[in-house]
Amino acid sequence: KNEVEQSPQNLTAQEGEFITINCSYSVGISALHWLQQHPGGGIVSLFMLSSGKKKHGRLIATINIQEKHSSLHITASHPRDSAVYICAVQPIIQGAQKLVFGQGTRLTINP
């Protein structure tokens, strides 16, 4: 069983739509990361959170530690948001800094 599960695996939407990507994990964590991977392969960190909610521009990330669940929301989506969005967790092992990744959600925003 994967420690990090994302849904949906693929998401196609029209420009302007509100987007939600979900992430569930099965291990105790110290932090959860949302990352963006563009078609060229590069990975960019969007958020790191251990509780509550963070907002950056049109992106919002929330986490519920008790339910082991996080969501990434994109408001007023735009074709340039098209990318793979990856949830990754930092397991709560002393000294552990590694990330355990989900399989990613491929988002396509059509104009």
Partner 1 sequence: EPEVTQTPSHQVTQMGQEVILRCVPISNHLYFYWYRQILGQKVEFLVSFYNNEISEKSEIFDDQFSVERPDGSNFTLKIRSTKLEDSAMYFCASSDWGNTPSFFHEQYFGPGTRLTVT
Contact residue for partner 1 among 66, 80, 97, 111 (CB under 8 A)? 97
Residues 6+ apart with CB under 8 A from 48: 31, 32, 33
Long-range pairs for 45-52: beta carbons < 8 A, 24 or more residues apart: 46/72, 46/85, 47/72
Is 83 a binding residue for partner 1 by CB under 8 A? The answer is no
- Total chain residues near partner 1 (CB under 8 A): 25
Task: Give the residue among 19, 18, 30, 11 at the shortest CA–CA distance from 88.
Answer: 30
Amino acid letter, residue 9: Q
Stretch that binds partner 1, among 17-25, 55-63, 66-74, 99-107 (CB under 8 A): 99-107
Task: Name the residue nearer to partner 1 (CB basis): 9 or 75.
Answer: 9
Please report, as residue ranges, which positions from 22 to 81 form the binding site for partner 1 (by CB under 8 A). 30-31, 33, 35, 40-45, 48, 50
Strand 4-7 and strand 52-56: pairing?
A: unpaired
93: which DSSP letter?
A: -
Task: Name the residue nearer to partner 1 (CB basis): 60 or 100.
Answer: 100
Task: Name the residue nearer to partner 1 (CB basis): 30 or 110.
Answer: 30
Chain contacts with partner 1 (rule: CB under 8 A): 30-31, 33, 35, 40-45, 48, 50, 86, 88, 90, 95-104
